[in-house]
Amino acid sequence: MTSARTSRGALGAPALGVALAFVPLAAPHNVTLLNLGFFTFLYVAQGLAWNILGGFAGYVSFGYAAFFGLGAYTTALLWLHGWTPVLTFPLAGLCAAVFSLIVGVPTLRLVGPYFSIATIGVGEAMRILMLNIGITGGASGLNLPTTVPSKTWFYLAALVMAAVAYAIATWVRGSRFGLGLAALRMDPDAAETLGVRTALFKNVAHVISAFLVGVCGGLFATYFQYLHPDTVFSFTESISLVLIALIGGLGTIWGPILGAAVFYAVQDYLQTSYPNFHLMVYGVLLIVILLFEPRGLAGLAARIAGRRRAPAPAADSPATIASKPAGNTP
Amino acid sequence: MTAPTRAWSSPADFPSSPLVLNSVTKRFGGLVAVDEVSVAIEPGKIIGLIGPNGAGKTTIFSVVSGKCAPTRGRVTALGHDITGWPPHAICRLGLCVTHQIVRPFTDLSVLENVMVGAAFGGGARVTGHDARGEAFAVLEFAGLAARADQPASALTLAQRKRLEIARALATKPSVLLLDEVLAGLTPSEVVQAVALVREICARGITILMIEHVMHAVMNLSHRVLVLNYGRLIADGTPAEVTGDREVIAAYLGAGTEETSHD
């Protein structure tokens, strides 16, 4: 929660980010590598964004595809009207943010599993709606202009998105706002009686994360050049973000970063040779993680680092997810 | 200090009262949990709120702290009509409640628990304040400074009760509502907790406390309110209420004539 405690680990990620920014210089024509980077960073950004509500505030949403899809379609439609895609990104985020407020105000009153179930409903309703209205091209999809920037540009743009999401998540976590989110996650009533405006805080967290995911959707639309409601509004897209945060470590900064890297690497590697096999891998990974290390890969890394550094790793109870920075991880 | 010698107080008796209940009624379906309770609390005093189980004591706290709105009646605190206000607003105004069943933020450290109160409570209105420093000062006052960096889940019950009080104190309340902070403590822990409550009062904070540990509440309170079946049946000094026939009947059953008090 303090600058002193976060600063130690805060150096690792920016250094990693800067290093990754030089990859296109070293391998400017390695399209496979640049694509891998683009999608991984896009998932890192979304995982970090999802985690602001799902991890910090404890509201596990299964409906983030709605924000991703809205962002994608906002960019796509404005692009078809002659806008430069980059200029549409803020609007893509804004559109998702406004929608998150509309669904968040009523659904964030629900607790725990009830909220999660409601978000499934919202996500699926948006997908069905988008399949059936004309403006999105409906079930036949939407073809977008083919004049797009280079792969290097996309790689760097996604990296910037990930960096922005990282910066925002890190700030939230160390701030008074983050302390309020942690408090309301553990006991909303107690937080409220101590002066935390829980309803406002939950919605602000929701809006911030939806905005980021909306921008990611816009970037995705620009990259993919073809949109279909079943792609961007898919339940799989929603589940992906939950999986990334859970595999990596709920409520940590490094969790979504590690989670996204593993998630996309597994998918990318397995999907070509063994379609759908990656889903089984995720399932097994999820069970193993929930059973043996509920703090995910970030927790596992912290445990290994702790064992190496000090002989008594017991001090790191699973309880300190929120308060301990992920800074101990390499 | 003038202990009220009258058996009943109306809201008009204490115009400067930090907390006034005016005909407060709270129903849950057919059950009348709190029935037409009118009372005004004097500033800077410790007021005990006692009564048999189910008398409506905690419900009064819930109504006052904003967790539920009264069915009828008004609550006025620190110059504002707070009826229907959300709990966070009431806390920021300067009225904080502790919970009967302690509710620490288990994943946070002891210090961070108190920081929540310091960062969001009444003190938060002062810009540029140092929540961490304030929280640590409160922990020192509450005797928990040595535990500051431990997770709240590692505390004993007595320490958790202290944490509950410390967290509430960090919100800089003018009125503190303590719900059974002595329950479940060993006799020596009770002595320490009683001393803590006295020190809080000495800081000028008005305390309304629900308590079942009779010798402690009679010792501490300047005034005792007795609730039975949601109604205020007695109001006076500890000596007055312990001699009150209706109070004895409420606790021991009607018809009990011979009871000794000292």
- In tens, the pLDDT along B32-59 reads 999 999 999 999 999 999 999 889 999 9
Q: Which residues pair with B27 in a beta bridge?
A: B32
| B112, B126, B127: best to mutate for the A interface, most A CBs within 10 A | B112
Instruction: Give dist(CA A113, CA B228) in Å, integer.
Output: 39
Tell me the pLDDT of chain A averaged across its residues.
Answer: 86
Query: Is the pLDDT confidence value at A11 over 80?
Result: no
At residue A180's C-alpha, the angle toward residues A178 and A183, to 5°, is 110
- In chain B, residues with a C-beta closer than 8 Å to the C-beta of A319 are 106-107, 151, 153
pLDDT on residue B126: 53
Residue with tokens 């919970």: B99
Query: Quick one: residue A312, left, alpha or beta (phi over 0 = left, psi -120 to 50 = alpha)?
Result: beta
Query: Is the pLDDT confidence value at A33 over 50?
Result: yes
Kindly report the nearest CA distance between residue B184 and chain A, in angstroms.
Answer: 20
* Per-residue pLDDT tens over the stretch A101-156: 999 999 999 988 999 999 999 999 999 999 998 787 777 888 888 887 888 999 99
* Per-residue pLDDT tens over the stretch A162-200: 999 999 999 999 899 999 999 999 999 999 999 999 999
DSSP E strands: which ranges in chain B?
19-28, 31-41, 46-50, 72-77, 80-81, 95-97, 175-179, 206-210, 223-228, 231-236
| B93, B100, B108: best to mutate for the A interface, most A CBs within 10 A | B108
Which of A77, A96, A88 minimizes the C-alpha distance to A137?
A77
Q: Which residues pair with A239 in a beta bridge?
A: none
Query: Is the pLDDT confidence value at B92 over 70?
Result: yes
> Residue B40 burial by CB count (10 A; 0-12/13-18/19+): exposed, middle or buried?
buried
Q: What is the DSSP letter of A22?
A: T
Reported as a pLDDT band with limits 50, 70 and 90, residue B255 is: low
Q: What share of chain A is helix, strand, coil (3-state, %, to 5)?
A: 80, 0, 20
pLDDT on residue A281: 85
* Per-residue pLDDT tens over the stretch B66-77: 999 999 999 999
- In chain B, residues with a C-beta closer than 8 Å to the C-beta of A195 are 88, 91-92, 117, 120-122, 124, 171
Q: How many CB atoms lie within 10 A of CB A20?
A: 17
* Per-residue pLDDT tens over the stretch B214-229: 889 999 999 999 999 9
* Choice between A185 and A280, residue whose per-residue pLDDT is larger: A185
- Restricting to A residues 184-223, those with a Cβ less than 8 Å away from any Cβ of B are 186-187, 189-198
pLDDT on residue A322: 39
pLDDT on residue A144: 87
Q: Tell me which H or E stretch contains A227.
A: strand A226-227
Write the ipTM. 0.85
Region B190-205 average pLDDT:
93
Query: Is the pLDDT confidence value at A206 over 50?
Result: yes
pLDDT on residue A285: 85
Q: Which residues pair with B95 in a beta bridge?
A: B175
